[in-house]
Amino acid sequence: MAKLSSGPTFPISISRHTYHHRVTACHVATPTTTTTIPFADLHPSLEVIGGARNRFLPALHSTLRHSYDPFPFIAWNPHVETIFASFFRSIPDVRLRRECLRTQDGGAVALDWVAGDQYQLPPDSPILILMPGLTGGSENSYPRHMLTKARSKGWRVVVFNSRGCGNSPVTTPQFYSASFVGDMREVVEHVSGIYPEANLYAAAWSLGANILVRYLGDESHACPLSGAVSLCNPFNLVYAFEEFTKGFNRVYDKALARSIRNIFKRHILLFEDIEGEYNIPLALNARQVRDFDEGLTRVSFGFKSLDEYYYKASCFHSIKHVQVPLLCIQAANDPISPARAIPREEIEANRNCLLIVTPKGGHLGWVAGAEAPLGGPWTDPVVMDFLEHLERGTHKTVESSNGPLTATSKNLHHAEV
């Protein structure tokens, strides 16, 4: 569930295209400890809950003790804020290097790295994998701003463009879905194989966040990531698609359906002789996202009905299985990822999870903070404070440990088999 249109873009420099096969690795993540801060210091404009409050609030205290102040005239309405951020937020000019990763099923995804970082950054620099929302890619403003923020702090960043998104190649008659974590798993293993000395983290938005949290739950204790951030997560796709049928939300539904149709049309020859329950004409002429999911997505991934797909693909089931630090940031007035879908009880019960809900923000908006209205969203510095806190904690734990795990932070998180 990404932005309404691709908007203005800057050229992406593609220096090489390579295909890689899956790298197998096993990783162990160790939690860090923190001190407790008084909850009274948190500003009442923000809802902050979760089983990991005591562990992670110290890292975010400087931000969360202040009120959330949305930019005047833009944030008064969630639709205005959502549309403004989609069409008018600046897009940082970043030179990217594309790598095409061949997946085990013959498909392909595109990884966009910051050009030159392979020479300029040390091999143990922390890595942040970014996953945009539905139809989104590295050309969009929100991953670009997050990328530049992380890169300015010495992080290595890569944008994971799902099949068909961000002009990534489609080589098989299968796109991606909210339920499919296979590509995410292969991307993480591939990146870990390139930089085995680095700690890996991930941040994702909207449908990408749903996929990320499902991946965290599936991997559970074996997850190779050292931490993750979920933003604008729909959590419960049944609720999300119910909202899509209401009022102004139909505009988003039609816009996203148009974007999906355009991607599908570019690769229609792959689906010409496909057999089974597929309804290619319905997908090709989809007026709603539900039409495309009924005609193609739910059949591709083995679901008997659309209701079954939306329910089983929802990531709220996965929260209880997450075993790495996870920060979730939501907006209470998000028109696409409704507040009623937030799994508050599950987040409260999981000692690895922290939830921040802002009073406003729309969907992928958060036009607030020092860079508003045209710069990066309010969430970017919060995300980096959280991730840098985790990264500092891994090094401190290594330095204070005894025995064989004393050399580098790699040993704490990466035990290769």
Task: Confirm whether 363 is a catalytic residue.
Answer: yes
Rounded to 5°, angle at Cα 344 from 333 and 39: 90
Could you say which of 138, 177, 206, 300 is catalytic? 206
At residue 16, the pLDDT reads 38
Q: HSE (CB half, 13 Å, CA atoms) of 97?
A: 12
Query: What does pLDDT average to in each consecutive run of 10 residues of the chain (417 residues)?
Result: 40 40 40 48 93 94 92 96 98 98 96 97 98 96 98 98 95 94 98 98 98 98 98 98 94 96 94 91 96 96 97 98 98 97 98 98 97 98 97 64 38 31
At residue 395, the pLDDT reads 54
Q: What is the DSSP letter of 171?
A: -
Distance between CA 298 and CA 301 in Å, rounded?
Answer: 5
Could you say which of 291, 334, 380, 389 is catalytic? 334
In order of 97, 189, 193, the CA distances from 14 in angstroms are 5, 23, 22
Q: Does domain 47-236+315-395 have CATH number 3.40.50.1820?
A: yes
Distance between CA 147 and CA 140 in Å, rounded?
Answer: 11
Tokens of 128: 């942040």
Residue written as token pair 């969203």: 377
At residue 40, the pLDDT reads 55
Q: HSE (CB half, 13 Å, CA atoms) of 261?
A: 17
Task: Confirm whether 206 is a catalytic residue.
Answer: yes
CATH 3.40.50.1820 region(s) of the chain?
A: 47-236+315-395
Could you say which of 190, 363, 413, 414 is catalytic? 363
Is the link from the previous residue into 173 a cis peptide, with omega within 30 of 0? Answer: no
Distance between CA 314 and CA 306 in Å, rounded?
Answer: 12
Distance between CA 90 and CA 393 in Å, rounded?
Answer: 33
Q: HSE (CB half, 13 Å, CA atoms) of 332?
A: 13
The sheet with strand 47-49 has its strands ordered as 47-49, 353-358, 326-331, 227-231, 200-205, 127-131, 156-161, 108-114, 96-102
At residue 335, the pLDDT reads 97
Tokens of 301: 């991934």
pTM of the full predicted structure?
A: 0.86
At residue 273, the pLDDT reads 85
In this structure, the dihedral spanned by the alpha carbons of residues 403, 221, 337 and 211, taken in order and rounded to 10 degrees, is 110
Task: Confirm whether 400 is a catalytic residue.
Answer: no
Hey, how many other C-beta atoms are within 10 angstroms of the C-beta on 23?
15
- Could you tell me which of 36, 59, 29 has the C-alpha nearest to residue 383? 59
Helices in 2-124 by DSSP H: which ranges?
A: 53-64, 78-88, 117-120
